[in-house]
């Protein structure tokens, strides 16, 4: 059974800092890994999807890396801004036809001015 863990559970930083969010998974036979952002009371927004054959993926100030063999992914946020405050979730697909996303518990990020 796939289990996904995210560390830290919460993070509070001043604006401008570079951040690293961690995600680990127990079954390394993954198809891909996805990072999402969730704002309070809202749905999820997809940030990055890394295929199992890739080592990293970049979008703007976000960079996600994937190490399948060690069961880890990191999300790097450069030059954080108050607008980055949200819960960040990582997820891996599994189940029949890989439709089931297993999520971590999330990292609650607060960036204060």
Q: Whose Cβ is closer to other proteins: residue 49's or residue 62's?
A: 49
Residue 56: CB minimum distance to other proteins, A = 17
Q: Whose Cβ is closer to other proteins: residue 34's or residue 80's?
A: 34
Instruction: Point out which residues bind other proteins (CB under 8 A).
Output: 31-32, 34, 36, 41-46, 49, 89, 91-106
Q: How far apart are CA 62 and CA 111, in angstroms?
A: 15
Q: Whose Cβ is closer to other proteins: residue 80's or residue 104's?
A: 104
Residue 63: CB minimum distance to other proteins, A = 18
Beta-strand (E) ranges in 18-98?
Answer: 19-25, 32-38, 44-51, 56-59, 62-67, 72-77, 86-94
Q: Whose Cβ is closer to other proteins: residue 36's or residue 80's?
A: 36
Can you say whether residue 84 is alpha, beta or left, with left for phi > 0 and alpha for psi between -120 and 50 degrees? alpha
Residue 4: CB minimum distance to other proteins, A = 9
Q: How far apart are CA 52 and CA 105, in angstroms?
A: 22
Residue 100: CB minimum distance to other proteins, A = 4
């Amino acid at each position: 059974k796939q289990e996904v863990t995210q560390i830290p559970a919460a993070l509070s930083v001043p604006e401008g800092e570079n951040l690293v969010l961690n995600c680990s998974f127990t079954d390394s036979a993954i198809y891909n890994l996805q990072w999402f952002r969730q704002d309070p009371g809202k749905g999820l927004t997809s940030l990055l999807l890394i295929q199992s054959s890739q080592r990293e993926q970049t979008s703007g100030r976000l960079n996600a890396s994937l190490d399948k063999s060690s069961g880890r992914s990191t999300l790097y946020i450069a030059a954080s801004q108050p607008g980055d405050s949200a819960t960040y979730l990582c997820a891996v697909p599994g189940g029949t036809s890989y439709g089931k996303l297993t999520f971590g518990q999330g990292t609650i990020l607060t960036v204060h001015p």
